[in-house]
Chains A and B, each alone.
Chain A
């Protein structure tokens, strides 16, 4: 009798612990979208085409930097075909951008009950 009880309680505790462990692995819906993407933003910013005349005395071993590329000359684009969807009338833009709307997580089906 006690043996059976012990078996059952071990099973119950084990299953409980397992469910906690498994739920810890569940992907958290954190950082939905690209509100803050530090690595992407940083990869955009470069000093490569920037003039470094200021610290030329400090960095004597540094090889000469190639010239900064000229701004490409853009010819006037040809008249664009009119897309089927018209643009909405422009609204006055507030000076401060609105923060991204907090969306509730997508509903997940609840675990099947027995």
Chain B
């Protein structure tokens, strides 16, 4: 009788825990470009979102301007060892183009990048290409996972997740939950 009761309690506890885990990331965010909603994802609880907008940046030394699409960055509020960013660059329409775009930003994101694996997968039901690797930044090693997601209507979404060495490995679940919540909105 006693063991039955405790079993019941345990089942209840597990159920509550599962419900809590499911409701962990429920702040949906929509990425738009010129009023067009492209995709959405969910920001984990106790993470902070930084959103930008389309603009042109100029190298003050060389004076060359570069077009920049909206970049959205998320990270835990109290931990800067983890970072994840999304961008949907204009006029990049295929996974191949997305990978070329990545080539042109990864040298700024990570120093001495070494690709450890690449794979084709599906994210949010869409074809995607994942590049995993390591590098360093500010004298510390980092792990990066760059993904190019093929959105309908000739757009791609590029997502980069970065874990610095020494970051809490449980953040991997949070990052994967963000990818799991990714949905195209077209």
Q: Does B141 contact A (CB under 8 A)?
A: no
Which of the candidate stretches A8-16, A40-48, A76-84, A87-95 sits at the interface with the other chain?
A40-48
Residue of B nearest to A65 (CB): B100
Chain B residues, Cβ within 8 Å of A30: 78, 80
Minimum CB–CB distance for A27 against chain B, Å: 3
Tell me the bound Cα distance from A48 to B102 in angstroms.
8
Tell me the smallest distance from the CB of B73 to a CB of chain A, in Å: 4
Is B85 in contact with A46, judged by CB distance below 8 angstroms?
no
Contact at B101–A27, with CB atoms within 8 Å?
Answer: no
Q: Decide yes or no: A48 and B80 within 8 Å by CB, A39-B109, A40-B73, A69-B91 being known contacts.
A: no
Bound form: Cα–Cα A73–B86 in Å: 26
Q: B173 on the interface (CB 8 Å rule)?
A: no
Residues from 86 to 106 in B contacting A, C-beta threshold 8 Å: 87, 89-92, 97, 100-101, 104-105
Q: A34 near B: Cβ within 8 Å? A: yes
User: B91: which A residues are within 8 A, CB to CB?
Assistant: 66, 69
Q: Can you list, as one digit per residue, whether each of B35-52 has a CB less than 8 Å from chain A (1) or not (0)?
A: 000000000000000101
Given contacts A47-B104, A69-B91, contact A39 B162 (CB under 8 A): yes
A103 CB–B CB distance under 8 Å: no
Is the pair B67, A69 in contact by a Cβ cutoff of 8 Å? yes
Within 8 A of B (CB), among A12-52: 27-31, 34, 37-40, 42-50
Residue in B73, B78, B97, B107 whose beta carbon sits within 8 Å of that of A39 in the complex: B73
- Bound: A44/B104 CA distance, A: 11
Q: Does B83 contact A (CB under 8 A)?
A: yes
Q: Is the pair B105, A46 in contact by a Cβ cutoff of 8 Å? A: yes
Question: Which B residues are in CB contact (< 8 Å) with A40?
Answer: 50, 52, 71, 73, 83, 85
Q: Which residue of A lies closest to B87 (CB)?
A: A43
Q: Do A45 and B66 form a contact, CB below 8 Å, given A29-B78, A66-B91?
A: yes
In the bound assembly, the distance between CA atoms of A108 and B68 in angstroms comes to 40
Q: Which 5 A-B pairs have the closest CB atoms?
A: A27-B78, A42-B108, A47-B104, A40-B73, A48-B104
